[in-house]
Homo-oligomer: A and B are copies of this chain.
Amino acid sequence: MRVLASIGMAAAAAILCTPASAQFAKPEDAIKYRQSALYVMAQQFGRLGAMAQGKAPYDANAAAENAELVQTMSHLPWPAFGPGTDKGRDTRAKPEIWADQAKFKEAQERLMNETSKLMVAAKAGNLDALKPAVQATGAACKNCHDQFRRD
């Protein structure tokens, strides 16, 4: 059980020391987690952007796979913006996130809604379906960044 013991420790500490909803041991872990999830999402989405713009060859399978990943990743960052995670590590998160939770949630939901549509569009298997969905998803990214992320 030695392997298990060392692996579970950080997570166990998280769960024992913080509200169940938070699931992070320290604010810096939450910040690192959300930055990581957003970075992976941005990279996958960038590949779709390149196809939509004709800067990379259109590949229906790769598009579907990337869109599915974007959709999955788009759900992960939000629980990591819990109370007290405004500092603890370099972050561009604006105070508005915690000052206007309803507006922040609305921006999250807009993104998750667009990534679901993006996934459907990518699975349709043609570039003409993909393009507007990539544009709408990109607009949802930008909407949130404009309001809640420092330049």
Q: What residues make up the interface of A, taking CB atoms closer than 8 Å to B?
A: 1, 3-5, 7-12, 14-16, 23-24, 29, 32-33, 35-37, 39-40, 43, 45-47, 49-50, 52-53, 55-56, 69, 72, 76, 134-135, 138-139, 141-142
Contacts and interface: CB of A to CB of B under 8 A. Distances in A.
Contacts of A9: 49
A76 B134 CA distance: 21
A15 B72 contact: no
A23 B45 CA distance: 12
Contacts of A33: 39-40, 43
B141 A7 contact: yes
- Please list the 8 inter-chain residue pairs (A to B) with the smallest Cβ-Cβ separation, ordered nearest first: A11-B46, A8-B49, A12-B55, A36-B36, A15-B56, A12-B50, A11-B50, A3-B138
